[in-house]
Structure 1
């Protein structure tokens, strides 16, 4: 063998040594099976033979699914929590005992691997330079370790890792620094291939294949049974016991635990993997991929016999990956992964142990350790890996060229720049996860229609190059904690709105359409989703709520908007919590005029700058939202229609909208014009002036009296010059300059709510008047007579 070949083989030996063993310490390391303990014992597995590698769990004799549409590659459990790394390694999600999820990590570039949990401590290795270790405690990140580590394990308050640079010793750290330092010191003179951590002890296999355990030994947990070099592969350590799988037949042996059902327990069953809880161990059987558990804690707490088979579905023996397997794959991979990947077999430990540099002959007296020296089969094996590595390198280069050519590796997401279906509210039985489906015919038609509506005048719209993203239902379920009631923030024209946080950290509002059979009978609900997606996908203006994306999977229809931190104008004006003077930033006349101006500018854009023009048809205070900077934006385009090209044209259509805001002319004649939106905005301006609802009871306490419309209440006072009698008492009386501004807005609102549309001003007139009113708030020496008032009716 040449010097170059020797060097290549030696480097390959070092490379492959990082995947020599699986180690699962207290609470389990990242496998396809996890054990959680604490208030209840929960055992979970990643289900085989499904399009998505979902998680299924067993607790208190009950079986349940967790996010059935999301694929996970590995899971781990600890005290009252379990976590999963999503397929690909870009994100980490954890669940508490009530199955409320929380996303701990998301990064599409720096991926996670080798997830471990010890009690409440969570750690994972990333693929960044230096192989960083990120850790979280109680689901909050608390430390990052920059060290080259090939494997990591976690115990009670400390973590240990085996260095990847083939040096002596291990690295231990954590909140229990004294124990971490003590354990690290006991492995100083050993070159460890891996390390597994239990309660207060640790075990690992050294470079000669011998299993070494150190730490507390109150229950015999470090009394390693006699064994041959490289006899053991997977390790699983609990609080006071240790278990290992034999490499040749995958049978298990356990020791420690203080006697009883744990000490020297051998099932005689072949396992693919084992994981440990505090005082029991579970294994995934080779025969039928089922999960069985044993140990003192299992018999004591669960009252189940040894060898009891949990009623879970078949569990994957390993993650489904789309890369080439270094050491072969399972023969049934295609079936187990449902055609969505391959399950790689673990590499043989004996053939992958790194040789002594540079492949020196074995020392004398090494005959008692037959598999520790670089034998002829070893060299043949490493040479084979060198050949496979060369092929892999070539394939990698081809992949990079393909990614560069197609652009799929540059962060481009699946996008959609057109229209999309309606959202139908959440059903009463809780959210049901639907499988993704092929693009429907109606979706294709909407895409084609979007090209027709792609033209857009520059107008006053803000520059916006983003396109709408297509999300999966699973992504949006995760973002909203499974559409929990706590995240519900309102309702729109065709569904319930939830606050959510996308996997990349963006805060959004997600409108979910109704999926009940009753809802499907109403065609208007269906068209509302189409309208929203059709219009918002081509409208970008700083006073319109921006559409982030959408989801359409079979019966599920959802729209994703940018999140408006300060909610709806309606809530600030009419919520019972906002009854005290100065209790809101909105309790100033300047701010209220500014909000009216913001909304008017958004509607003006729809009428004058969108091509073709758009009539909103549902302008009301609950559809005017306020962002983090208190900028008002018009929302909810579920009832919107394409308007005529000119104000002189009319469009017959069945009246739609909200009582109190509907244009009386539109309601009576079923003919919609842009002036219908003007009427709705006029009512909103009256709300801002008076603080009253569009329809309210004549008694101030709201417990009696006759219903009265805001128009009938406020307009007579404006006409008679008694505006001050109807102004909102929560706002201090306007100063001289503010009084003029308030009077101008009231005068404008009065014209907006004229019974006949031709007598109402245009949106451009309204914007001009409100701009004038806002300027008056800053100019105490100005007056109404010194500026132009634009009340022009058609």
Structure 2
């Protein structure tokens, strides 16, 4: 009778997977209708068998160590021999439908931006496994996270900033309604084999209704360093939310994370006291004391900083302060991306 019990157990498990997949599929359809304004945007659904076979039953040898969250990423090969990266959606491992909504938003936005060079190319998703997966085209060797201890080239860091600004500008302008990323974090940016930065994880992406410039939420999510006061205190999300987070990213690219902590400090996450971002970096930079501000690893790589490089770093810092809101009106991300593109072109013509 043991064989009968096992067969019955497998049948129950398969039925549960199908029910779970159907419920999640309905949530995903709701997100697609909302975000795509009812327009068709089909997403390929992989079966549990497809993903299990492609990743060799989620074998340890299939895990991708270069990407953030060691246990979350697997490499594999589909039946048509295309290589994939499968991301485990750990927030949705609960069977409760409401826990899948952030992941449904991630899948939906990823499918909408998939053709842009500064986003990973989505192949589809698998919803019927207890912990669902997003599936991207690509190989293990194709992507890596950003480690500022390793990325010590000033030129490469400016290029990363330009790529991320371009991605944010695309989210803000490419669709009938702007999408605010609101999840800035170095860990959410990957580099491809050509050094092109790609933004990922749209779980906290917010849609701004037509005719509006902001929305007010019931919650605050994201990495504390990158959250502006309007969002943190008033729960107000707008395009300025992304500009602020990007301004902090720029400062970290310039100073390195350790020096950023030393200079700017970090408030207690539980304290909702308004942060004061004084121009702690501008004065020494303006006085030529570059070594007090810039990431020492980057300075070591550069050797002696010439006047043109110092001027560019100062302009980069001023732009970051404009994004944070320390220098007049906060710029649109389209403007920021254009200015960073000019920085990159200056490197090319040097």
Instruction: Write out the 4+ residue segments of structure 1 that deviate beyond 6 Å after TM superposition.
Output: 47-52, 432-435, 711-714
Query: Which residue of 7, 13, 18 corresponds with 1:437?
Result: 18
The TM-score with structure 2 as length reference comes to: 0.78
Q: 2:235 matched to 1:670?
A: yes
Preserved CA contact (<8 Å) 1:456 1:611: no
Distance 1:630 1:546, change over 3 A: same
Q: 2:82 matched to 1:512?
A: no
| 2:104 equivalent in structure 1 | 530
How far is the alpha carbon of 1:449 from its aligned partner?
Answer: 5.3
| 1:568 equivalent in structure 2 | 145
Task: Give the aligned length.
Answer: 325
Give the Cα–Cα distance (whole angstroms) in 2 for the partners of residues 773 and 539 of structure 1: 25
Bigger Rg, which one = 1
Preserved CA contact (<8 Å) 2:111 2:122: yes
How far is the alpha carbon of 1:730 from its aligned partner?
Answer: 1.7
Distance 1:449 1:595, change over 3 A: closer
Q: 2:314 matched to 1:737?
A: no
Give the Cα–Cα distance (whole angstroms) in 2 for the partners of residues 772 and 455 of structure 1: 35
| 1:749 equivalent in structure 2 | 320
Distance 1:552 1:649, change over 3 A: closer
Preserved CA contact (<8 Å) 2:75 2:86: yes
How far is the alpha carbon of 1:747 from its aligned partner?
Answer: 1.1
Give the Cα–Cα distance (whole angstroms) in 2 for the partners of residues 754 and 744 of structure 1: 15
If each structure's helix is expressed as a fraction of its own residues, which one has the higher value? 2
How far is the alpha carbon of 1:521 from its aligned partner?
Answer: 7.0
Secondary structure of 1:772's match? helix
Give the Cα–Cα distance (whole angstroms) in 2 for the partners of residues 647 and 739 of structure 1: 40
The TM-score with structure 1 as length reference comes to: 0.37
1:424-573 alignment, distance < 5 Å: 436-437=17-18, 440-441=22-23, 443-444=25-26, 446-447=28-29, 450-451=32-33, 453-454=35-36, 468-486=43-61, 487-489=63-65, 490=67, 496-503=71-78, 504-514=80-90, 519=94, 523=98, 525-540=99-114, 541-553=116-128, 555-563=130-138, 565-569=142-146, 572-573=147-148
Give the Cα–Cα distance (whole angstroms) in 2 for the partners of residues 714 and 692 of structure 1: 18
Give the Cα–Cα distance (whole angstroms) in 2 for the partners of residues 668 and 50 of structure 1: 54
| 1:589 equivalent in structure 2 | 154
Preserved CA contact (<8 Å) 2:256 2:295: yes
How far is the alpha carbon of 1:736 from its aligned partner?
Answer: 3.9
Give the Cα–Cα distance (whole angstroms) in 1 for the partners of residues 27 and 254 of structure 2: 45
- CA distances 1:599-640 after superposition (whole Å, capped 9, x unpaired): 100100001112321111101111111111111111000111
Distance 1:514 1:448, change over 3 A: closer
How far is the alpha carbon of 1:735 from its aligned partner?
Answer: 3.7
Give the Cα–Cα distance (whole angstroms) in 2 for the partners of residues 686 and 714 of structure 1: 13
Give the Cα–Cα distance (whole angstroms) in 2 for the partners of residues 681 and 740 of structure 1: 21
How far is the alpha carbon of 1:453 from its aligned partner?
Answer: 4.0
How far is the alpha carbon of 1:49 from its aligned partner?
Answer: 11
Distance 1:639 1:445, change over 3 A: closer
Give the Cα–Cα distance (whole angstroms) in 2 for the partners of residues 535 and 640 of structure 1: 8
Provide the aligned C-alpha RMSD in A. Answer: 3.8
Distance 1:452 1:658, change over 3 A: closer
Distance 1:771 1:528, change over 3 A: same
Preserved CA contact (<8 Å) 1:683 1:694: no
| 1:37 equivalent in structure 2 | none
How far is the alpha carbon of 1:507 from its aligned partner?
Answer: 3.1
How far is the alpha carbon of 1:551 from its aligned partner?
Answer: 0.6
Distance 1:550 1:449, change over 3 A: same
- CA distances 1:690-713 after superposition (whole Å, capped 9, x unpaired): 112597357xxxxxxx9547x989
Secondary structure of 1:553's match? coil
Q: 2:195 matched to 1:630?
A: yes
Distance 1:628 1:468, change over 3 A: farther
How far is the alpha carbon of 1:478 from its aligned partner?
Answer: 3.1
1:395-406 alignment, distance < 5 Å: none
| 1:8 equivalent in structure 2 | none
Query: Which residue of 331, 335, 340 corresponds with 1:765?
Result: 335
Distance 1:668 1:547, change over 3 A: same
Preserved CA contact (<8 Å) 1:473 1:556: no
Give the Cα–Cα distance (whole angstroms) in 1 for the partners of residues 23 and 259 of structure 2: 41
| 1:246 equivalent in structure 2 | none
For CA contacts below 8 A with separation 6 or more, give which structure has more relative contact order. Answer: 2
Preserved CA contact (<8 Å) 2:72 2:90: no
Secondary structure of 1:469's match? coil
| 1:232 equivalent in structure 2 | none
Give the Cα–Cα distance (whole angstroms) in 2 for the partners of residues 743 and 647 of structure 1: 35
Preserved CA contact (<8 Å) 1:563 1:627: no
Query: Which residue of 309, 323, 347 corresponds with 1:777?
Result: 347
1:385-396 alignment, distance < 5 Å: none
Distance 1:760 1:770, change over 3 A: same
Distance 1:450 1:520, change over 3 A: closer
How far is the alpha carbon of 1:455 from its aligned partner?
Answer: 6.0
Could you tell me which runs of 5 or more consecutive residues in structure 1 were left unpaired when the two chains were aligned: 1-46, 53-67, 70-337, 339-431, 458-465, 579-585, 699-705, 781-794
If each structure's strand is expressed as a fraction of its own residues, which one has the higher value? 1
Preserved CA contact (<8 Å) 2:109 2:202: yes
Query: Which residue of 278, 281, 290 corresponds with 1:717?
Result: 281
Preserved CA contact (<8 Å) 2:164 2:199: yes
| 1:394 equivalent in structure 2 | none
Distance 1:470 1:669, change over 3 A: same
